Amino acid sequence: MMAWLRLALGNLRANRRRTGITLLSLTVGVAGLVFLWAFIDGINAQMINNMTGYVTGDLKVHKRGFHDDREMNIALPQQWQLREAIADVPGVDAATPRVTGHALASLADQSRALQVMGVAPEQERSVTRLDRSIVLGRYLQSGNEIVLGTGAARALEVALDDELALVVQAADGSIGADRFKVVGLFETGVKRIDGGVAQIPLDAAQSLYAFWGRVTEIAARVDDPDRLTGVVATLETQLDERGVEVLDWPALMPSLMQMVDFHNVVTYIVIFVVFVVVAAGIVNTILMSVMERGREFGVMMALGTSGSRIVQLVLMETTLLALVGYALGLILGLAVTTYYASHGLDFTAYIQAMDTMPGLSGIVYPTTSPGRWLIIGVVVVIVALLAAVVPAWIASRHTPLEAMDAHRSASNRLRRVRAEVTANNRLLIFAQMALRSVFRNPRRSLITASATAFGLAAYLFLYGFTDGFFEQMIRNSTQQLSGHVQVMQRGHDVDLSPALRISDTASRVQALAQRPNVEAIAPRVQVKAMVANPKTSRPVEVVGVDPERERQVTRLANYIVEGHYVEPAGDGIVIGQKLADDLDARLGDKLVVTVQQASGDLASSAYPIAGIYRTGSDLFDSEYVFTSLTRARTLLGFQPDQASRIALRLQDRSQSTLLARDLNRTLSGDLVAQDWETLLPVVMQMIDMTRIDFYLILSVVFVVVAIGVMNTMVMSVMERTRELGVMLALGTRGSQVVLTILFEALFLALLGMAAGSVVGTLIVVWYNHTGIDLSAVARSFEAVPGVTDVIYPVLIFDHVWLPGLLLFICSVLVALYPARRASRLDPVEAIRHG
pLDDT tens column, 176-206: 899 999 999 998 877 778 888 999 999 999 9
pLDDT, residue 332, reads 93
What 6-13 contacts at long range (C-beta under 8 Å, 24+ apart), as own/partner pairs, is 7/313, 8/313, 8/316, 8/317, 8/320, 9/320, 11/313, 11/317, 12/317, 12/320, 12/321
Higher pLDDT pick, 470 / 611: 611
Hey, what amino acid is at 612?
Answer: I
pLDDT of residue 102: 87
Q: Which pLDDT does position 497 carry in this prediction?
A: 86
Cβ(334)–Cβ(372) under 8 Å?
Answer: no
Strand partners, 177: 167
Cβ proximity of 631 and 544 under 8 Å: yes
Q: What are phi and psi of 248, to 5 degrees?
A: -85, 175
The C-alpha atoms of residue 263 and residue 250 are separated, in whole angstroms, by 15
Confidence of residue 781 (pLDDT cuts 50, 70, 90): low
pLDDT tier at 424, thresholds 50, 70, 90: very low
Q: So what's the pLDDT on residue 592?
A: 93
How would residue 351 be classed by pLDDT, with cut points 50, 70 and 90?
Answer: low
Q: Between 820 and 778, name the one with better pLDDT.
A: 820
Q: Which range has the worst mean pLDDT, 233-242, 387-396, 630-639?
A: 387-396
From 185, 157, 155, 180, select the one nearest 167 (Cα to Cα): 180
- Distances in Å between the Cα of 429 and the Cα atoms of 419, 426, 737, 752, 812 are 11, 6, 12, 23, 19
Q: pLDDT at residue 614 above 80?
A: yes
By the 8 A CB rule, do 765 and 241 touch? no
What is the per-residue pLDDT for 563? Answer: 95
CA distance 821 to 360: 49
Q: Which pTM was predicted?
A: 0.65
Residue burial 227-244, b: 16+ Cβ < 10 Å; e: rest:
ebeebbebbeeebeeeeb
**Crossing angle (nearest 10°) for helices 254-291 and 442-477:** 170
What is the mean pLDDT of the segment spanning 473-485?
Answer: 88
Over residues 81-104, mean pLDDT: 89
Reduce the DSSP state of residue 467 to 3 states and report it: helix
Residue 96, pLDDT score:
93
Per-residue pLDDT band for 735 (boundaries 50, 70, 90) equals confident
Q: Rounded mean pLDDT of 450-454?
A: 80
% of the chain surpassing 90 pLDDT: 30
Distance CA 656, CA 640 (A): 29
Which ranges of 596-720 would DSSP assign to H, the alpha helix? 618-621, 629-636, 656-666, 676-679, 681-719
pLDDT category at 310 given cuts 50, 70, 90 is confident
Q: Once rounded to an integer, what is the mean pLDDT over residues 150-167?
A: 91
Q: How confident is the model at residue 410 (pLDDT cuts 50, 70, 90)?
A: very low
pLDDT(422) > 50: no
pLDDT in tens, 361-391: 567 788 888 888 998 888 888 877 877 777 6
Residue 159 has a pLDDT of 92
Question: Distance between CA atoms of 62 and 294, rounded to whole angstroms?
Answer: 73
Average pLDDT along the chain: 82
| Mean pLDDT, rounded, for 630-650 | 94
Q: Is the pLDDT of residue 53 over 70?
A: yes
- pLDDT, residue 779, reads 63
Task: Check pLDDT > 50 for residue 673.
Answer: yes
Quick: pLDDT tens for 796-810: 888 778 878 887 887
Query: What is the average pLDDT across 819-825?
Result: 80
Q: Rounded mean pLDDT of 600-625?
A: 88
pLDDT of residue 726: 79
Q: By mean pLDDT, which of 23-32, 41-50, 300-309, 561-570 is the weakest?
A: 300-309
Domain residue spans of the chain: 2-45+257-470+684-832, 65-242, 491-669
Q: Counting runs of H as helices and runs of E as strands, what totals does the chain give?
A: 33, 24
How would you classify the pairing of strands 537-545 and 624-628? parallel
